[in-house]
Amino acid sequence: MEDFLPIKKVDHLEFYVGNARQAAHYYRTGFGFTVTAYSGLETGSRDRASYVVEQGHIRFVLSTALGPDHPMARHTHLHGDGVGVIALEVPDAASAYRESTRRGATGAIPPTREEDEHGVLSYSAIHAYGDTLIKFVDRSNYRGVFAPGYEARNGAAEGGVGTNAGGNGRHKGLGLAHIDHMVGNVELGAMDRWVKFFAETMGFAQLQHFDDKDISTEYSALMSKVMQDGSGKVKFPINEPAEGKKKSQVQEYLDYYYGPGVQHIALSTGDIIDTVSRLRDNGIEFLRVPSTYYEALEGRVGKIDEPVDKLADLGILVDRDDEGYLLQIFTKPVEDRPTLFFEIIERHGSRGFGKGNFKSLFEAIELEQARRGNL
Ligand code: FE2
């Protein structure tokens, strides 16, 4: 079947935040990103400031409104800091818009072309869950550092056509390399509607299915389905709360984000022990599972390359399936509201999401929820 919405890769994620300058500092000194471009009053942007930060092939844009009436200001007021835009690089932004809206997506930004001395950047956007936009970006005719209106920072140079697409891998930072997956939390009963949305309007296929038997502890029940694009490069798991004894972790998110949105972003590394050690040194806080998790680890997951004592030291989790194993760890929420957090993941063949860890992990999350008075 022909792919009506081909995707090259994740182009960037844009976070709407209360103070982009301070957020850029956090992602730089905490997570090891480099600021590569800036747009604000000094570059002629009158109503917003944005910092582009890059590491490996990961690119985030941290944006803040300069006044109270800007849509970003309203987004931040309602949701707190969070992901406003998931941008995907496509060969044709007008076609992506046409094909997705024809299949039922609601348009947000009709096909638009912006031009400067570095070429033409084309984009469009549709509405996804909550107030989140999915943006289609075609940068095949653009050589600038990020987009018209942005100036390079820290020696980020204008390249050949397309060389800046999706982060160019030059900024090694702490070894974070790619966005592995982006998880959305939606309301009770809405998961299947969003599964249908990604299938019908974007041509994604369902990868795996966990039901509440797989991922419920005594309290923190949820259901999850994973949607991915034709190439397997873009993965969107979608969670909804399930009825449990007490408040689901997904419901806690929905209550504090005031609606659906991006729950966590998984970033891949080739050396999770080194990356997580350095993240911890920089003050990034992670969830902790009980030390008993490591007692029977090799019995559960078999032989792995990494020393178990080192993993236990850092709190890194392991899971194995038919195809291989993976190592993963989750940060605590990265803002005061218990909303967005990050996952650090290293894959050794496994294409799963750490199903075997759900129980221990959710028990650790519940401990945090209880401390917040939200269980
Ligand atoms: Fe994940």
Residue 291 sits at φ, ψ, to 5 deg, of -65, -20
Which range of residues forms the domain containing residue 233? 177-372
Contacts of 153 (CB under 8 A, 6+ apart): 35, 36, 37, 38, 52
Query: Per residue in 240-287, pLDDT tens?
Result: 998 877 888 999 999 999 999 999 999 999 999 999 999 999 999 999
Residue 259 three-state SS: coil
Cβ contact 12:60 at 8 Å: yes
Residue 69 CA to ligand 1 centre (angstroms): 34
Instruction: Summarize the confidence of residues 188-215 as an average pLDDT.
Output: 85
Nearest to 262 by CA among 180, 340, 337, 362: 340
Query: Per residue in 114-153, pLDDT tens?
Result: 999 999 999 999 999 999 999 999 999 999 999 999 999 9
Residue 137 CA to ligand 1 centre (angstroms): 25
Instruction: Summarize the confidence of residues 101-112 as an average pLDDT.
Output: 98
The chain-wide mean pLDDT, for the chain, equals 92
Instruction: Summarize the confidence of residues 199-210 as an average pLDDT.
Output: 86
Residue 116 CA to ligand 1 centre (angstroms): 38
Question: With bands split at pLDDT 50, 70 and 90, how would you rate the model's confidence at 355?
Answer: confident
Judgement on whether residues 166 and 193 belong to the same structural domain of the protein: no
Judgement on whether residues 42 and 187 belong to the same structural domain of the protein: no
Strand partners, 126: 107, 134
Query: Per residue in 35-77, pLDDT tens?
Result: 999 999 999 999 999 999 999 999 999 999 999 999 999 999 9
Residue 264 CA to ligand 1 centre (angstroms): 7
Judgement on whether residues 70 and 138 belong to the same structural domain of the protein: yes
Judgement on whether residues 230 and 119 belong to the same structural domain of the protein: no
Long-range contacts of 319-325 (CB under 8 A, 24+ apart): 319/350, 319/352, 319/354, 319/355, 319/356, 319/357, 320/350, 320/356, 321/350, 321/351, 321/352, 321/355, 323/349, 323/350, 323/351, 323/352, 324/348, 324/349, 324/350, 325/301, 325/349, 325/350
d(CA 296, CA 302): 10
Residue 162 CA to ligand 1 centre (angstroms): 29
Residue 232 CA to ligand 1 centre (angstroms): 15
User: Of all residues in the chain, what percent are helix, strand and coil, respectively (each to 5)?
Assistant: 25, 35, 40
Residue 266 CA to ligand 1 centre (angstroms): 6
Judgement on whether residues 210 and 359 belong to the same structural domain of the protein: yes
Is the residue at 248 inside a domain? yes
Residue 110 CA to ligand 1 centre (angstroms): 31
Is the residue at 2 inside a domain? no
Judgement on whether residues 270 and 192 belong to the same structural domain of the protein: yes
Query: Per residue in 86-103, pLDDT tens?
Result: 999 999 999 999 999 999
Judgement on whether residues 168 and 182 belong to the same structural domain of the protein: no
| Bridge pairing between strands 9-16 and 133-138 | unpaired
